[in-house]
Structure 1
Amino acid sequence: MRQYLRDRVRASVEALEHLVGGLGTAVLALAACMLLVVVAVASVVGAGLPVVPSALKAVRSVAGRERARLARWGTDLPAPPPVPDGLRAALRDPWVRREVRFVAVHGTAGFALGAIGISLPLSAVQYLLFPLYFWALPPGLGGPGLVFWRIDGVLDALAVALIGVGWLAVSVPLVPWLARLQALPGRRWLAPPHDVDVTLRIAELTATRAAALDAHAVELRRIERSLHDGAQNRLVAVTVLLGAARRALARDPAMAAEVLERAHAAAELALAELRTVVRGILPPVLGDRGLAGALDGLAAGCGVPCTVEVDVPGRCAASVEATAYFVVAEALTNVARHSGATRAAVAVHRSGDRLHLRIGDDGRGGADGTAGEGHGSGIAGIRRRVEAHDGRFTLTSPPGGPTTLLVELPCGS
Structure 2
Amino acid sequence: MVADGPEIPRRTGSAFSERARAVLDALEHLVGGLGTALLAFVAMAWGTAVALLCVVGVGFLVAPSVPHAVRAVASRERARLSRWGPEIIGPGPAPSRVRDALADTGVRRELCWVFVHGTVGLAFSALAITLPISSVQDITYPLWWRFLPPPDTELTGVSWRVDSDSDALLVTILGLGLAAVFVLLAPAMARLQAWPGRRLLAATSDTDLSLRVAELSATRAAALDAHATELRRIERSLHDGAQNRLVGVTVLLGATRRALDRDPAGALVMLERAQDAAEQALAELRTVVRGILPPVLDDRGLAGALAGLAANCGVPCQVDVDVPGRCAASVEATAYFVTAEALTNVSRHSRARRAQVTVRRQGAHLRLRIEDDGVGGADAGGGSGIAGIRGRIEAHDGHLTLTSPPGGPTTLDVELPCGS
State TM-score, norm by structure 2: 0.82
- In 2: Cα distance, 1:199 partner to 1:22 partner: 28
Match of 1:391 among 389, 398, 403: 398
Match of 1:16 among 27, 43, 47: 27
Give the C-alpha shift of residue 79 in structure 1.
Answer: 3.3
Match of 1:70 among 69, 81, 89: 81
Cα RMSD over matched residues?
3.4
Give the C-alpha shift of residue 111 in structure 1.
Answer: 0.8
Match of 2:389 among 368, 382, 387: 382
- Name the CA shift for 1:194/1:200 in 2 (closer, same or farther; >3 Å): farther
CA contact (8 A) 2:71 2:107 kept: yes
Report the residue type matching 1:392 in the other structure.
H
> Which deviates the most, 394-403 or 86-95?
394-403
Give the C-alpha shift of residue 214 in structure 1.
Answer: 6.0
Aligned to 1:253: 264
Give the C-alpha shift of residue 359 in structure 1.
Answer: 4.1
- In 1: Cα distance, 2:326 partner to 2:68 partner: 44
Aligned to 1:125: 136
Aligned to 1:144: 156
Per-residue CA deviations over 1:318-372 (Å, capped at 9, x if unaligned) read: 43222111112223445556xx432274542315132223445756847335xx5
Match of 2:283 among 266, 272, 286: 272
Q: Does 1:408 align with 2:415?
A: yes
Equivalent residues in 2 for 1:201-350, closer than 5 Å:
219-220=230-231, 222-299=233-310, 301-302=312-313, 305=315, 307-314=317-324, 316-317=326-327, 318-334=329-345, 340-343=349-352, 345-350=355-360
Aligned to 2:96: 85
- In 1: Cα distance, 2:303 partner to 2:277 partner: 35
**How many residues get paired?**
404
Give the C-alpha shift of residue 113 in structure 1.
Answer: 0.8
- Name the CA shift for 1:59/1:194 in 2 (closer, same or farther; >3 Å): same
Per-residue CA deviations over 1:60-92 (Å, capped at 9, x if unaligned) read: 221122112112211311232122233332332
Secondary structure at the counterpart of residue 350 of structure 2: coil
Secondary structure at the counterpart of residue 69 of structure 1: helix
CA contact (8 A) 1:368 1:398 kept: no
Give the C-alpha shift of residue 183 in structure 1.
Answer: 0.7
Aligned to 2:8: none
Secondary structure at the counterpart of residue 85 of structure 1: coil
State TM-score, norm by structure 1: 0.83
Q: Percent identity?
A: 61
Give the C-alpha shift of residue 21 in structure 1.
Answer: 0.9
Per-residue CA deviations over 1:200-250 (Å, capped at 9, x if unaligned) read: 777766776676666556545544443344323322321221121011110
- Name the CA shift for 1:154/1:383 in 2 (closer, same or farther; >3 Å): closer
Question: Where does structure 1 lack aligned partners over 5 or more consecutive residues?
Answer: none
Report the residue type matching 1:342 in the other structure.
R
Per-residue CA deviations over 1:100-122 (Å, capped at 9, x if unaligned) read: 22211111111111111111222
Per-residue CA deviations over 1:357-390 (Å, capped at 9, x if unaligned) read: 3445756847335xx5xx6x54454334212322
- In 2: Cα distance, 1:297 partner to 1:4 partner: 24
- Name the CA shift for 1:223/1:250 in 2 (closer, same or farther; >3 Å): same
Question: Where does structure 2 lack aligned partners over 5 or more consecutive residues?
Answer: 1-10
Secondary structure at the counterpart of residue 79 of structure 1: coil
Per-residue CA deviations over 1:116-153 (Å, capped at 9, x if unaligned) read: 11112222233333333344445574461224x23343
CA contact (8 A) 1:358 1:405 kept: yes
- In 2: Cα distance, 1:264 partner to 1:183 partner: 65
> Which deviates the most, 201-210 or 18-27?
201-210
- Name the CA shift for 1:136/1:394 in 2 (closer, same or farther; >3 Å): closer
- In 1: Cα distance, 2:409 partner to 2:21 partner: 22
Report the residue type matching 2:395 in the other structure.
A
Give the C-alpha shift of residue 301 in structure 1.
Answer: 4.2
- In 1: Cα distance, 2:131 partner to 2:273 partner: 75
> Which deviates the most, 112-121 or 221-230?
221-230
- In 1: Cα distance, 2:97 partner to 2:330 partner: 49
> Which deviates the most, 76-85 or 150-159?
150-159
- In 2: Cα distance, 1:137 partner to 1:309 partner: 50
> Which deviates the most, 326-335 or 205-214?
205-214
Secondary structure at the counterpart of residue 178 of structure 2: helix
> Which deviates the most, 111-120 or 206-215?
206-215
Give the C-alpha shift of residue 299 in structure 1.
Answer: 4.5
Q: Does 1:183 align with 2:194?
A: yes
Give the C-alpha shift of residue 14 in structure 1.
Answer: 1.9
- In 2: Cα distance, 1:365 partner to 1:174 partner: 32
